[in-house]
Structure 1
Amino acid sequence: MDPVRGGAGGVAVPPVVCRFDEGLSPHVGEVRKLHARWCERHGIYPSAAVGELFTAMDIGDLACRMHPGGNAGDLALLADWSAWLLLRDDRWDAGEYLVEWERLAERDRVYLRLMRSGRTGEEPGSRRDGTRQDGLYTGLEDLCARLRRRAADNGLPDPVSAGFLTTMGTFFRGSVRQAFLQRRREVPDLKEYLELRRVTGGLDILTHVRAATDGFSLAGDALSGADARRLTLAADNICCWHNDLVSLNKELAGGEVNNLALVLVGDPASPCQTVEEGVEAVVGMIYSEQDEFARLGELLRRRGGPHARTTAWYVKMLEERISGIISWQDRCSRYQVERLQGERYGSP
């Protein structure tokens, strides 16, 4: 790992040391192949250029870092969901005009209708309303079908439930708000940004995926307490704020406003006057969240009781996610300015 990120003309960004062990599944080669076949089968990329960029990102590697103990099929499902969320988010980032946004908003409504319908996916893309031309539609159809089958294998109810749909809807709305702020070049206030950043990371969606593949239910009281909610928030913050650090120079080059370091500079209550000071503050905030996560994780593990098994799984799953995302983001070509400056990831 380079000691400092940022080349000539960029902001120096120190690396963040993750306190959790880094892992990588031995199935990574197979998962890469399975993920590539899925992307090709559904025509998930809107252009060859986008396909090349996403291939270089190595999302199969991301999945194998987030769940080093998973089998190849489950890891491929996790990789496919991760790619879908990134591509859908980038499609909004690329939208510049209101007419584009109207089409994109309708696509989001179509995606939610598809998830509500409970369609099995045996005949993907069979609709006659044009959705079969949309790789994200047929990809989502397949993802939901596979997730349902995996949950059934584990004796779980339909995982594409009301809770999952609420999480997806929140993700959709949050990314629309971020796109609106970006179009206006309007830096959000700190309170709004922290909430937007958390929901647009899409990590709660991946929690539903992991629960279904690992055989755990998110319903009930096991994860409903204040300590579990704060643990989840700490994990989300660590991953999302680290992303803001590694993507900072790319986003500065592209005129991005949705970045915690920039938001801190613009916040009247923040002492940060420069982007460099904003970076230093974000690094400190990440380490504080790591401390809080470790404290709460140990507390929840010691608590015991009827939900001890679910709680232990949840803490470990989040630890693997934090370590996996940090290690992947440190390596990912997505955040290299020279690779991505000026690229458009998607179009409606």
Structure 2
Amino acid sequence: MPADKVAEYADGLCYTDLMAGYYLGASEEVLQAIADYSAWFFVWDDRHDRDAVHGRAAQWRRLRFRLHAALDAPAAHLRHPDPLVAGLADSVGRLFAFLPGTWNARFRRHFHAVIDAYDREFRNRLQGRVPLVDEYLALRRLTFAHWIWTDLLELSAGCELPDAVRKHPSFRKAALLSQEFAAWYNDLCSLPKEIAGDEVHNLGISLITHEGLTLEEAVDDVRRRVEECISGFIDVEKDVLRLADRLADGTVRGKELGAAVRACLANMRNWFSSVYWFHHESGRYTVDSWDDRSTPPYVNNEAAGEK
């Protein structure tokens, strides 16, 4: 993004505002680290998009390997000449300062999977291949980084949750529903831009291509799925609250875990309102105001990602 575009559009993109609405209760230092990582993620997403649009397979392959390396050894990549690689190193290095190494290892594992999923998406785009609906839904959980944003809830709560809590069916379902809502609502709001840009990764596009739905029917289907995420979350939320009560067994550790689960659950709920607000306030999705409906006005088609 050219410097003049940064000045014109950065605040209006509302990336840090989105995180501020999701990770309520986090310390200022934690929230700043998460917000900066989120902003980096959007920039990376745009680089990935430009590499796909221009067929820059070698550049994308090189970037993918560098991001994997920076994730494994952030301190060694802080001065990397590609600012996107250095930015990831800086972001994750700061995130890794708050919780034990076991949390860091989990975050690394989850984000390595996200990078690889972006590569699968890149290859689909070069081939013009629209994934089947079920295939797309599984891929979307990775490209939207469901488990990364869920991991960061623990950072916000200041407590690493044990596997027995994180993998509890009710807790995991609540986390998944909050992220599915976000991913599918994003698909709904991105659909005009992505149809205009001949994109192949959107739930609506998969429904149209493989289920034979009209555009209107696909929009209705995605909206129904979004609404079911909301009702499903409200139902399972009660079970997670009961889990928090059981964890608070009178011990110091139990009290800490119970409070952390409640904090994580509250911010899963906040994800719904924050994501809804973001998609109607961010300049990233105001497609009707763009001259080119396939490309945000802050993206320089020719230069983006050339370094």
What TM-score, normalized to structure 1?
0.74
CA distance in 2, matches of 1:201, 1:96: 17
Q: Which moved more, 1:138-147 or 1:322-331?
A: 138-147
Q: 2:96 maps to which residue?
A: 148
The alpha carbon displacement at 1:56 in A equals: 2.6
1:316 to 2:266 alignment: yes
8 Å contact kept, 2:30–2:95: no
Change (3 A) 1:288 1:120: same
Residue 164, structure 1, aligned to residue 107, structure 2: yes
- Residues 112-121 or 311-320, more deviating: 112-121
How far 1:333 sits from its partner (Å)?
1.0
1:328 aligns with 2:284: no
Matching residue's letter, 1:275? L
Contact kept, 8 Å, 2:111 with 2:148, in 1: the verdict is: yes
Bigger helix fraction: 2
- Determine helix, strand or coil for the equivalent of 2:213: coil
**Structure 2 Cα separation of the partners of residues 200 and 118 of structure 1:** 21
User: By how many angstroms is 1:239 displaced?
Assistant: 0.3
Aligned match for 2:246, one of 289, 302, 305: 305
Paired amino acid for 1:106: R
Can you give the 5+ residue segments of structure 1 that lack an aligned partner in the other structure?
1-44, 126-130
Q: Of 264, 288, 294, which aligns to 2:234?
A: 294
Matched residue, 2:84: 136
Deviation of residue 103 (structure 1)?
Answer: 2.8
Letter of the 1:333 partner, please give it: G
Deviations 1:170-191 (A, max 9, x none): 1111122222222222211001
Alignment partner, residue 39 of structure 1: none
- Structure 2: where are the runs of 5+ without partners? 248-256
Percentage of matched positions with identical amino acids = 24
Change (3 A) 1:99 1:245: closer
Q: Which amino acid aligns with 2:123?
A: F
In the alignment, the residues of structure 1 paired with residue 127 and residue 169 of structure 2 have an alpha-carbon distance, to the nearest angstrom, of 36
Shift of 1:78: 1.9
Report the TM-score, using the length of structure 2 for normalisation.
0.84
Q: Deviations over 1:91-127 (max 9, x none)?
A: 1111148973233233222222223226288xx31xx
Report the aligned-residue RMSD. 2.5
Return the alpha-carbon distance in structure 2 between the equivalents of residues 54 and 191 of structure 1.
35
- The 3 A distance-change label for structure 1 pair 139 and 118 is closer
Cα distance in 2 for partners of 1:97, 1:334 equals 18
| C-alpha deviation, 1:328, in angstroms | 0.7
Secondary structure in 2 aligned to 1:305? Answer: helix
Q: How many residues align?
A: 287
- 1:206 CA displacement: 2.7
Query: Compared with structure 1, are the counterparts of its residues 145 and 173 closer, same or farther at alpha carbon in structure 2 (3 Å cutoff)?
Result: closer
Does residue 259 of the first structure (1) align with residue 207 of the second (2)?
Answer: no
Displacement after TM superposition at 1:67 (Å) = 2.7
TM superposition shift of 1:296 = 1.0
CA distance in 2, matches of 1:109, 1:73: 29
1:61 and 2:17 aligned: yes
Matched residue SS, 1:334: coil
SS in 2 for 1:186: coil
Say which of 171, 174, 196 aligns to 1:228: 171
Is 1:347 the counterpart of 2:288? The answer is no
Give yes or no for the alignment of 1:48 onto 2:3: yes
Deviations 1:181-233 (A, max 9, x none): 22222211001110111211124223333422431114431111222222222
Superposed CA deviations along residues 225-246 of structure 1, whole A, max 9, x for unmatched, are 2222222221111000000111
Q: Which residue of 2 aligns with 1:25?
A: none
